[in-house]
Amino acid sequence: MTETDELIERVSKTLGLPPEKLLSGSLKEYLKSRLRSTRAEIHEIETKYNIKKPETLEEKIKQGTTPEHPAWEDLILYENLQKQAEKIQQELDSIPN
């Protein structure tokens, strides 16, 4: 039995929860926390550029209404954060109640 297994077993007994319920509940809370953090970063970029989607920021850069630097880097980050949020949400949705 690994150290992690022993920890799960001990906490499970202490809380009177089946290990599976403890693990799924813990994972769910972790994913919720990551999703909140990711969405907060997305919101910062949206607020910084007064946008709601990546295409709008790209248009602002191309039109010259927003300086290219650091907007291009922020656009890449924004797109990656949105993809990450989608993946986290999918994983969260896949955990049974």
User: Using CB atoms within 10 A of its CB, is residue 5 exposed (0-12), middle (13-18) or buried (19+)?
Assistant: exposed
Q: pLDDT-derived band of residue 81, with 50, 70 and 90 as boundaries?
A: very high
CA nearest to 49, candidates 63, 62, 36, 67 = 67
If you average pLDDT over every residue of the chain, what do you get? 96
- The answer, as to whether pTM is greater than 0.95, is no
How confident is the model at residue 85, as a pLDDT?
98
Written as six digits, the tokens of 71 are: 């907007």
Please write the tens of the pLDDT for every residue from 1-24: 899 999 999 999 999 999 999 999
Please write the tens of the pLDDT for every residue from 54-69: 999 999 999 999 999 9
How confident is the model at residue 21, as a pLDDT?
94
